[in-house]
């Protein structure tokens, strides 16, 4: 997975701003180039366990999909943060994954981004495999 530096910086800033709760969003680019060029914030609709769970607001998902369509972009994947936990996929993350999308997890420790990893599910619901993450 290739991601523009500006897009990665936006994800990290979103994670730091949302700390100590998990944040989430959608990554856009074109399938042909498979490079994330834009990221869009989405609301995490999980309230009671927002420190260790996320679910993208369906209204945000629809809005971002429409914006992507109008620009000729595709949804390439999703991102979220892990506050004070490693940038590794949890069982919850894996079970909710859709095949064919890249999932970027950024670890936020004490309000600062410290690590990021990418994952891809071979089938809906996992398992995940690690995906090289190239920031350029």
22 is catalytic: yes
Choice among 17, 22, 67, 110 that is catalytic = 22
How far apart, in whole angstroms, are the C-alpha atoms of residue 12 and residue 87? 12
Residue linked to tokens 């071979």: 122
How far apart, in whole angstroms, are the C-alpha atoms of residue 6 and residue 127? 29
- The dihedrals phi and psi of 10, each to the nearest 5 degrees, come to -65, -40
3-class secondary structure, 95 = helix
Opening angle at CA 96, ends 125 and 26, nearest 5: 120
Cis, peptide link before residue 115, omega less than 30° from 0: no
* Catalytic center residues: 22
């Amino acid at each position: 997975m290739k991601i523009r530096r500006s897009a990665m910086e936006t994800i990290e800033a979103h994670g730091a701003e949302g700390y100590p709760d998990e944040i989430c969003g959608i990554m856009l680019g074109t399938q042909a180039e498979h490079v994330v060029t834009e990221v869009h914030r989405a609301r995490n609709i999980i309230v009671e366990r927002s420190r260790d769970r996320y679910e993208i607001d369906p209204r945000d998902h629809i809005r971002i999909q429409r914006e992507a369509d109008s620009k000729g972009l595709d949804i390439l994947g999703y991102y979220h943060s892990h506050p004070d936990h490693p940038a590794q996929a949890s069982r919850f993350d894996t079970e909710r994954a859709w095949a064919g999308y890249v999932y970027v997890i950024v670890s936020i420790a004490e309000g600062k981004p410290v690590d990021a990893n990418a994952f891809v599910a071979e089938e809906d619901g996992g398992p995940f495999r690690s995906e090289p993450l190239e920031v350029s």
